[in-house]
Amino acid sequence: MPDKTLHDKSTYKCFRQFVWMVLIDTLLYGIFCSMAAIFLTHQQITQYQQKSIEQLQLDIFLKQITVFCLHIPFGVSCYTNLLVSKAYRNAMKNVFSWN
């Protein structure tokens, strides 16, 4: 019986780590993708307004930042998983170990 209890605790711990990984990935994705929604809404609102050179340059800069932010969740998810989950860290160690 004690083995089953230990197995249940281990399974629960891995499940909890998995839930944290998914939650953090979802939050990061939502935060960084909301930048695109904000930028595109601003662009649609101001598309027929006369803009100065500075405003056009600012729009281009914000567009570049927005495109960059859209790529962040895909590059950061591995690192956040490494920080959150001990099971994920151990699995990655096994993948990259020479033994």
What does the pLDDT read at residue 87? Answer: 86
What does the pLDDT read at residue 7? Answer: 67
Answer whether residue 88 is part of any domain: yes
Answer whether residue 94 is part of any domain: yes
Answer whether residue 60 is part of any domain: yes
Confidence of residue 97 (pLDDT cuts 50, 70, 90): confident
What does the pLDDT read at residue 98? Answer: 73
Q: How big is the CA angle at 10 (ends 8 and 11), to the nearest 5 degrees? A: 65
Q: 10 Å Cβ neighbour count for 93?
A: 9
Look at residue 99 and give its three-state secondary structure: coil
Answer whether residue 63 is part of any domain: yes
pLDDT in tens, 14-64: 888 889 899 999 999 999 999 999 999 999 999 999 999 999 999 999 999
Nearest Cα residue to 21 out of 89, 96, 97, 95: 89
> 84 and 50 in contact (C-beta within 8 Å)?
no
Q: How large is the average pLDDT for residues 67-86?
A: 90
Q: How large is the average pLDDT for residues 5-17?
A: 78
pLDDT above 80: residue 99 = no
What does the pLDDT read at residue 84? Answer: 87
Tokens, residue 66: 């927005």
Place of tokens 């500075």: 54
CA–CA separation, 31 and 34 (whole Å): 5
Instruction: Look up the domain containing 80 and give its range.
Output: 52-99
Number of domains into which the chain is organized: 1
What does the pLDDT read at residue 86? Answer: 87
